[in-house]
Structure 1
Amino acid sequence: MQASFRKNDLPLVRRLEAVSFRAWPAASVVYDGSWQVRLTGGHPSKRLNCIVPLDPSDHRDMAMRLEKARKRFAAYGRPLLVRETPLAPGVLIDHLRSEGWKPFETVDVLTVDLAALELPDTLDYLPSHDVGRFIDASLAVEGDDAGPKPAIAEILSAIKPPSGFFMKEDPAGGAIAVALCVHDNDLAGILSFAVAQARRRGGVGTEILSSALRWARISGARSAWLQVVSTNEAALALYRKFGFRKAYEYHYWRQEG
């Protein structure tokens, strides 16, 4: 699970994509052939509002299908985005480029073998199952307003696999770090991991991540995965310290002009 992506690792990509869809579910999911069309009216997250082609050979009627999707996205007030993983047809990507589309963000998908990790024998932070408390903590850590709170609650409540909400709170200053761990069979996903700006580089992130991974391992997960924007060097440095390695990357595309 830790090797860099190779063309014959498409089954690994399919599996990680499948668990990521379950870990962060969109409000509306429809399929056009093997293209997954994900939309969430209440939340602007790119992962929740994009087309994800899932078969390298499925590129028939591309222009027509893209236009159909564009109208569907417009009905939600969303711009049309395509998420290119190694499962996306090369012919489709060439078509996007020829039509003036451009990639604008790259995300690395990282994995680690949990059995090989040195983790604390005990959990410094026990997982909570209080959705509302976790959302409040996440918004406080990120410095966001409460506007998207109902949409986030809907997303978190829709997660089917067992989940643990990890939070570190300062009695004086409130929440300072959060992480969501979703345990899906032998895989565990780390999502919504954040540390308050003023408390970074002080070991808090290491504490929360260690507890989440320890919980995942004792719950039966053998590998963990996460997704991180490729330019986030601080987060990447922390994940490398834990042994996470890149499995593959994906790119978001949008049409310019």
Structure 2
Amino acid sequence: MPDRGCKMIAGLILNATICFAITVSSFAFAWVLASSEDKHNEKSKPALWALVILWSLVALTYLPTTIRMAAAFTGHPSLDLIMYNLAAVPFSTVTVPLVFFILYVITGNQKRSSYISFLFILFGATYLALLYSNGVIGPTITGYSSMFSINSDIAINIYLVGLFVIPIAMMLGMMLLIFLQRMPRHLRYRTTLPLVSISFVFDFMLTDMITNLDVMQMAARIFVLIGTVLAFLAYFPPSTLQKTLGIKKSQHERYEEEEEDENDL
């Protein structure tokens, strides 16, 4: 029994460490993006700040989750529940800046993108209302995690349809448009890989929240961390990676201001 207890604590500490790494890396990425504002023109800044908000929400989702894991191995289930409910708020709103980013990049219309993305706030609010009114089952402490079960199938379905399927379909559609367009390789890289990494993070955040298997939840969090690193490399690729992928801008492309403005993000 003592060995089992030690293994359980070790698994929870590992889980907390992964969540903390996601928090720090997401906050750091958001800060780096925000600090690069002066390198962007006025047209691209709304999309930039949408990404800053998106990655901040990812960090704010996993900050309470880190505390949850700490509460689990220190034996504080009430704190665990409070942090779960707190993490649900940024989790339910992460779709909003994502939808704004996609629509703004496609249309260039800030007002229209804002109005449509506002609809996803309503989806998120409905999800939270059902989540809080029906409650959750748990926590169940396992060898790797502290698990909660959402006690509302309607809440899960609302998230799946309104806050997951639609944004993923929009991202896939946008990536298809990018591949159909002719553009320099470095612009295709800077536009496509961020979407792939966001999709990666988004998919596994959902898996994290709805799975009932601790091992799957742990794996999902590892992939969220990997997705965050990929997103950073998408925006700030090291010179060696640029040479390897052949995405370094030529001297001619550096002066193509109009094309750069349209695809700045």
TM-score normalised per structure 1: 0.27
Larger radius of gyration: 2
Structure that is richer in strand per residue: 1
RCO higher in structure (CA 8 A, sep ≥6): 1
Structure that is richer in helix per residue: 2
